[in-house]
Chains A and B, each alone.
Chain A
């Protein structure tokens, strides 16, 4: 499959990825692993795709290998014995997506702290984060998103859910308490609601 001059190989069986990568390194000369990425196709089955970007210095050529991983058994053999740089890349994928790498020398979280219970880059993890109850870690509540830069896309199907004014804040978020959202709830000193908004003026 080619797109914009790049060559992508789609692997049918995720279990053989280590074998294929070993072959790529020894026989095809792809001595350089540029990057391993993971994509969450939320709603598709299999859910995850792992993307390996290979490069050969001798022929100056890139190659991309993709393989799908199902959600139930999110496990793939590691390619750390082929390229030692895969070590940290795979740790990051485990940290962010939750895909385990069988045979990895030291599979633990790299960017998030130890004991963090979620996998942040998954599509069902909200952008504001979820609060977690880890001792000795500060700032484990959700991010205050009010007035933030995340404006919904006009016409997007989830705009109701994403519009900050409509979204019900998580109850354990400190910054959300006491903050009033709808115009009708804002009352003046006498307990009367303020006058109608600009749209509601009758001609």
Chain B
């Protein structure tokens, strides 16, 4: 065995070591990276077949967090399902709320009637959720690779986002902020200034994170060239979001099929070149910077006016009218007990969530509850490439690849 340490050729050294092991043992080992594992970002089980240190087969097993959301949706009115959407991608709950509300509004045909203020506030929510999710994604990615400090750096900024969410919606985490046709409540006074202050601080934090990681020799060695997904594979396997853009496909739903007011905002979409973990990391960092740019524009342009659609059959009327007038009382009663009256038909709507394309396919037979609600979860589809991607890498690359994928099991399993 040669005593030379070849830093620039890890695969070569591993192959040499594997050959020797094979001579010694001659068998492959099956390793269970179990559902309860710090590097699997949730309850994901991967059964790895190893030849020395190199993975020859990988079989991910999901379903440990399956809660039957789609079955539950068939028994609830559209508004009652909103808290369940929080818990899909629980790292960016506001984005899920917005995507679901937009899907139901598309079914009802009222998406053009949304007020301007509502649309701007929803964009603000989505972009805050994007920053929050990417901060956690990159923090956990760095943590798995070994750069433990970054995790707490990004989490201090996430705490500030949680504080913003709490003053906005009442909850840090399970926000349930949007309603069909509008929002639960308007922005509290002073929130815009708090948000602006946060944006000033968070950019400093991005710069610090980049100082730690982007040109760090160890980080680059561990992520560059690892987990390379070709453009054709990315499209074939249905990847979306930063995973797809890291592989060089310029597809962002905010630009390709703009919803809300994204067509009136100026921002760029970062696209990678090689499709390895390092590219996905760079795409996410740049996306966060572009989110800050979008947020600044939204806060400047935020219009006044009502936040909910004026149609009383969709939005609950205000309490003073409900308690005094008959017509509003009836509307309130029917809306709460039977739900919004959706026409029969089916729609598919997808939004650019931080993890990818979150889509809702709603098949309605009329009435207040959906006949079938299918949630197209980006993490579910992103994970399907693992059996193809992992073989050929070493065990220590698994945590780098999983971290760069930034998936959430709540969304994957629903």
Contacts and interface: CB of A to CB of B under 8 A. Distances in A.
A binds B: yes
Contact of B236 (A84, A123, A162): A84
Contacts of B71: 120-121, 125, 127
Contacts of B396: none
Interface in A119-173: 120-121, 123, 125, 127, 149-150, 153-155, 162
Interface of B: 62-63, 66, 68, 70-72, 74-77, 80, 106-107, 109, 235-238, 249, 251, 256-257, 337-339, 345-348, 350, 357, 359, 361, 363, 368-369, 371-372, 374, 376, 380-381, 383-384, 388, 413
A53 B75 contact: no
A39 interface: yes
Given A127-B72, A149-B80, A35 B359 contact: yes
A35 B236 contact: no
A62 B361 CA distance: 13
A111 B63 contact: yes
B381 A153 contact: no
A37 B338 contact: no
Interface residues of A, number: 43
A112 to B, nearest CB: 6
Given A3-B345, A4-B107, A155 B338 contact: yes
19 contacts: A4-B347, A6-B348, A8-B346, A34-B238, A34-B359, A34-B376, A35-B361, A39-B363, A39-B372, A57-B249, A85-B237, A113-B63, A120-B71, A121-B70, A127-B68, A127-B71, A150-B75, A153-B77, A154-B337
B82 to A, nearest CB: 12
A90 B271 CA distance: 30
A33 interface: yes
Contacts of B372: 37, 39-40
A111 to B, nearest CB: 4
A166 B62 CA distance: 36
Contacts of A127: 68, 71-72, 75
Nearest to A82: B236
B359 to A, nearest CB: 6
Contacts of A8: 346
A57 B63 contact: no
A120 B371 CA distance: 15
A112 B61 CA distance: 10
A26 interface: no
A83 B236 contact: yes
A60 interface: yes
A8 B371 CA distance: 18
Contacts of A31: 235-236
Interface of A: 3-4, 6, 8, 31-35, 37-40, 51, 53, 57, 60, 62, 64, 83-85, 87-89, 92, 96, 109-113, 120-121, 123, 125, 127, 149-150, 153-155, 162
Contacts of B62: 110-111
A69 to B, nearest CB: 14
B413 A4 contact: no
A53 B381 CA distance: 14
B237 A6 contact: no
A3 B363 CA distance: 12
Contacts of A120: 68, 71
A140 to B, nearest CB: 14
Contacts of A39: 363, 371-372
A153 B347 contact: no
Nearest to B236: A84
Contacts of A38: 374
Contacts of A4: 106-107, 109, 345, 347
Nearest to B377: A35
Contacts of A33: 238
Contacts of B347: 3-4, 6
A110 B62 CA distance: 6
A149 B337 CA distance: 13
A56 to B, nearest CB: 10
A135 B181 CA distance: 48
A156 to B, nearest CB: 9
